[in-house]
Amino acid sequence: MKARTRTIISMSGLFALCLTVGCERTPHEKVFTIGMSQCNLGEPWRVQMNADVKNAADKHPNIKVIFKDAQNDTLKQRAHIEEFVSAGVGLIIISPKEAAPLTEPVAKAVDAGIPVIVLDRRVLGDKYTCFIGADNKLIGREAGKWIVKKLGGQGKVVELKGLMTSTPGQDRHTGFRAGIEGSQIEVIFEADMKWLEPDARKEMESALARFDEIDLVYAHNDPGAHGAYLAAKAAGRETDIMFVGIDALPHEGVMYVKQGILDATLQYPTGGAEAIDIALKILNGEEVPKEITLGSRIFTTENVEAGGELIGS
Ligand code: FRU
């Protein structure tokens, strides 16, 4: 049989199959375009978020996602949102670099009738359709409580903070301070490392130069904790200090705990799959909650092989 005839036969077979079992997608089904603005793709966690969005979206032939990377530039990210609005996308997903400057473009998109899902870092106020993210205050507080226990209620701690114009940085800080309240834990050095490993390493070099005694480093993300570890290792002091981070990607933070580089990491789920789930609901005209709070686990040297432990339960 010639190849062309075979193709015609198999196409008609497919059509017959569609008639009997019902195809998921009819030729007239509307295809929705989703604009996804990622604040940067420099950290493994953000690469994972985009992969989670893509994997979830690939399961639905009626949605198409356009990914944009702001490369850690707030002005670029503002422009993304404006471009998505003028292109008339069906929905926008944004993981904003910082809260204040991204608030206005998000509000304008909502005013233009485009639903906006805000992922992980917040904007100010409540002019968005749905926020999805884990509870950073809880994560910070649980980190603090674990540290108090681990250090027997007292010790000298370095806090390497995430970008303090972003809400996870603010919440992981206030949560942590609440978690150590009433203990003899002393924060002897704190600095904004802007979520970046090289900045964390530099800040830690200053801390090491100033203080002979450091018991533990609490960093707002795993790249920060790893940067601090590298600085301590270069100074020959890594075995005197404990390191705690946040994110707990299997191939990053969890692996560091297994390798003995970090003593603990708290999971910060990307929310990528949930964002697509909610996007579909919105695009199909269903009501969605304003806030979706994702759960989190703590992974420590003691429990990492058993898969960590749920926090806040
Ligand atoms: C990546 C990241 C993560 C962190 C999150 C907070 O850019 O810094 O490590 O958990 O952003 O928004």
Q: Cα(163) to centroid of ligand 1, in Å?
A: 9
DSSP structural state of residue 69: E
The predicted model gives 143-168 an average pLDDT of: 98
In this structure, the residue with its CA closest to atom 9 of ligand 1 is: 221
Rounded Cα–Cα distance for residues 274 and 82 (Å):
24
Q: How far apart are the first and last CA of the chain?
A: 65
Q: Same CATH fold, 136-268 and 27-134+270-295?
A: yes
Which pLDDT value is given to residue 158?
99
Which of 41, 45, 118 to probe ligand 1 with, by most ligand atoms within 8 A of CB? 45
Retrieve residue 224's tokens.
């920060």
Mind listing the pLDDT tens digit for each residue in 183-194?
999 999 999 999
Decide whether any atom of ligand 1 lies within 6 Å of the 194 Cβ: no
Retrieve residue 127's tokens.
């002019």
The predicted model gives 233-242 an average pLDDT of: 98
Span of 26-35, 228-237, 242-251, 279-288 with lowest mean pLDDT: 26-35
At the top level of CATH, which class does the domain 136-268 belong to?
Answer: alpha beta
Q: Cα(221) to centroid of ligand 1, in Å?
A: 6
Mind listing the pLDDT tens digit for each residue in 130-147?
999 999 999 999 999 999
Mind listing the pLDDT tens digit for each residue in 95-128?
999 999 999 999 999 999 999 999 999 999 999 9
Domain boundaries, the chain: 27-134+270-295, 136-268
Residue 5 or residue 285, greater confidence: 285
- Which one is the CATH code of 27-134+270-295: 3.40.47.10, 3.40.50.2300, 3.30.70.141, 3.40.50.360? 3.40.50.2300
Q: Cα(144) to centroid of ligand 1, in Å?
A: 19
Pick from 56, 54, 80, 82: which is nearest to 68 by CA? 80
